[in-house]
Amino acid sequence: MPLVSVVIPTYNGSRYISETINSILQQEVSDIEVIVIDDGSTDDTCAIARRFGDPVRFIEQSHAGVGAARNHGIREARGEFIALVDHDDYWQPNKLAGQLAAFAANPQVDVVFSDFVRWRQDEAGDFPAPAEFLPQAAAQGSDGELSGWIYHQMLLDSWVLTSTALARAAVVIAHGGFDESLPYSEDWDFWLRVSRSSQFLKLREVTTLYRQHPTQGSGIIRPIDYRTRLLETAAERWGLCSQDGRCVAPERFKRQLALYCAEFGLGHLRGGAGASRTIAARAFLKAWSIDRRYWRSLAYLAVTPFGYKPRW
């Protein structure tokens, strides 16, 4: 039985997946299994992943979305711990070793995650070499604000980048994995649910390079504000406090919710495929109804009929 199961969901990831797999195989921890779940790719992803041979278990499925691919990998995993990494991200060599040491020192913790950097292309269109970020990967201690019971913090932002997290397999399985009906914010939904019953630990070191490119799902304009819906549902169901009594102030929660509504509206106002001024107007009105002091939402609403693209 491997100590760590690493699950890589992929869909048309031929451009980046080789670099991602290599970063996993170069970990300082050797007791791992690597599972690639191909979600019906139509490019060369399958051929590239198969070239790695025995170190990588390659499994194909019909295209069903990232949530379904992650869950397939979770079902296949045999390790005591599970890590999930997107097919375009990169791990520094000490990632798993540092996280396993954190688990050993903090047995009450079920999830260890870390800081990350947004890995952007330079002017020539190239991504800087991962070695350039190694100084930031050195051990830097833990972040107390985002460690322990962090449900109340998760109501403000999706602090856990999934590619940085290492979790006890029993906990991942107990929570049923990812909600496959969600096309967006499925990772936030999962870690939010886990935070209701488990303690987290955040390491300050940068273990993961979070690749930024135009085809990322987070850049797609969607007809539904899944993020705001997720947070409204969580607050209604569980309230605003973590199990240790730490809470997010209602005023702060409302302002953050209003900001997310307005940001969703701005995505539609700025245009692009799937954009709608009607959806934008409704989002600005909802932002104002949530927080009447957030006057900027009314300013956005005023320019919506003209299709103005605000810079503020």
39 falls within a domain: yes
pLDDT at residue 155 in the model: 98
Do 122 and 201 belong together in one domain? yes
List 10's β-bridge partners, or say none. Answer: 38
Write down the pLDDT at residue 273: 75
Residue 206 sits in the same domain as residue 264: no
Q: Are residues 156 and 291 in the same domain?
A: no
149 belongs to a structural domain: yes
Q: Which of 31, 248, 45 is nearest to 151 (CA)?
A: 248
Cα dist from 120 to 92, 106, 211, whole Å? 16, 34, 6
Q: What is the dihedral of CA 310, 270, 231, 290, to 10 degrees?
A: 50
Residue 188 and residue 280 in one domain: no
254 plus 210 within the same structural domain: no
Query: Both 57 and 108 in a single domain?
Result: yes
Give pLDDT, residue 308: 62
d(CA 159, CA 301): 30
Q: Tokens representing 79?
A: 């390790």
Same domain, 188 and 291: no
Same domain, 144 and 74: yes
Give the per-residue pLDDT at 215: 65
pTM above 0.85, yes or no: yes
**What's the CATH code of the domain at 45?**
3.90.550.10
User: Within this chain, do residues 138 and 286 fall inside the same structural domain, yes or no?
Assistant: no
Residue of 245, 254, 267 whose CA lies nearest to 294: 254
Total of domains in the chain: 2
**Same domain membership, residue 202 and residue 91:** yes
Residues 193, 150 share a domain = yes
Output the pLDDT for position 203. 98
Domain annotation covers residue 266: yes
| pLDDT tens digits in sequence order for the chain, 312 residues long | 789 999 999 999 999 999 999 999 999 999 999 999 999 999 999 999 999 999 999 999 999 999 999 999 999 999 999 999 999 999 999 999 999 999 999 999 999 999 999 999 998 889 999 999 999 999 999 999 999 999 999 999 999 999 999 999 999 999 999 999 998 899 999 999 999 999 999 999 999 999 998 766 666 788 999 999 999 999 999 999 999 999 999 999 999 999 999 999 999 998 877 789 999 999 999 999 999 999 999 999 999 988 766 565
Determine the structural domain holding residue 258 and report its residue range.
249-306
Would 82 be classed as within a structural domain? yes
Same domain, 290 and 151: no
CB 71 within 8 A of CB 180: yes
State which amino acid sits at residue 9: P
Q: How many Cβ atoms sit within 10 Å of the Cβ of residue 248? A: 19
CA nearest 83: which of 166, 143, 139, 151?
166
